[in-house]
Amino acid sequence: MSASHARRPHNTVILAAAALAGQGGGHGHPGQAEDAVAFLDVLAAQLCARGWTGYMSTPAGRLAFLSVPDRHGRTGGADVTAVPDAHTGQWWYWFSWAERIAPVDAPAEAADAIISACQQLAGDAEAPAADGHGRGPAMG
């Protein structure tokens, strides 16, 4: 992982979103990158209150996202972004696998759903393989 894409705890994030504003081929509005970072920071605080950690990434020219590692190291965890709906403009939290989580005005609900998904992924990773030998395929 390069230094420019290193994961940092949410409370030490360098807010580079201003550099992203207006990028992305003309999509979105100039403050959209800052909005996404702010929504993800609120989500990170909700996860922290539940004993989980989130690491903010703001890669140049891409959407900001929050990486939520599995606390027990059994899976890769989940990556989450905040994006407005193209038709309504309402902001939502989304998993990287294109599953909508919750609206950004419900960060506690989103945190619970993310934790549940990470725990489910961890359970799937520990399941025995179909032939009954060893572990099943690891997710992540």
In DSSP terms, 81 is beta-bridged to: 94
What's the rounded Cα separation, in Å, for the pair 22 and 20?
Answer: 6
Whole-prediction pTM value? Answer: 0.68
Give the DSSP letter of residue 73. Answer: S
- Domain edges within the chain: 7-125
Per-residue pLDDT of the chain (140 residues; tens, 9 = 90+): 433 333 434 333 323 333 233 334 344 566 788 999 999 999 999 999 999 999 999 999 899 999 999 887 777 789 999 999 999 999 999 999 999 999 999 999 999 999 999 988 776 655 554 555 444 434 34
Strand arrangement, sheet containing 55-57: 8-9, 55-57, 65-68, 78-84, 91-95, 100-103
